[in-house]
Structure formats: C-alpha cells, structure tokens
Amino acid sequence: MTCYFCKGNLIESHTVHVSEVGECVIIIKNVPCLKCDQCVEISYTGSIYKQIENIVDASRNALTEVTIVKYSDKVA
C-alpha cells in the first residue's frame, strides 16, 4: 500500500492514539497501524478505527481528566 499524502510505502507498526473528549484526554497505547516510511503519516484499517471508537466510548464515562488504556481486541 502507498501513503495517501506522499506515496511512500506503508508498513505495519504500532502507535499511541490520543483523543480529546470534552475536557478529558484518552490515550490508547500500542495501537496497530500502517505508518508511512517517508512522512510517518499514520493510517488505521476500518476494524482498528472501530475498536478505537469503542475504547473511547467505554472510557468516556471514566470521569477523569486523563485516561490511559492499552489497545486490545476487547473493550474493557
């Protein structure tokens, strides 16, 4: 696959995803991704993005300013 922005090669990797929900910051560690070997742009597959949404939705009710979770195939 090639990068949408620079046409570099996308390689399988892992990243840290950060989402802001209201006044809360949700940090998801070890998220599988496709990373460009030239511009380091990050891309997610549809299933990975859906899992990120599920984690963010589940963390939304944590009532903390910062939530840090490790990515997994199951929502905690």
Q: Which long-range contacts (CB under 8 A, 24 or more apart) does 14-19 make?
A: 15/42, 17/52, 17/71, 19/52, 19/56
pTM to 2 decimal places: 0.85
Domain-wise residue ranges, the chain:
10-70
Q: What is the mean pLDDT of each run of 10 residues along the chain (76 residues)?
A: 95 96 91 97 96 90 83 66
Q: Distance (Å, rounded) from C-alpha 34 to C-alpha 17?
A: 13
Alpha carbon separation from 33 to 13, 17, 45, 63, 67 (Å, rounded): 5, 10, 7, 28, 21
Q: Per CATH, is 10-70 categorized as 2.60.120?
A: no
**Which pLDDT belongs to residue 59?**
86
**Which pLDDT belongs to residue 61?**
76
**Which pLDDT belongs to residue 74?**
57
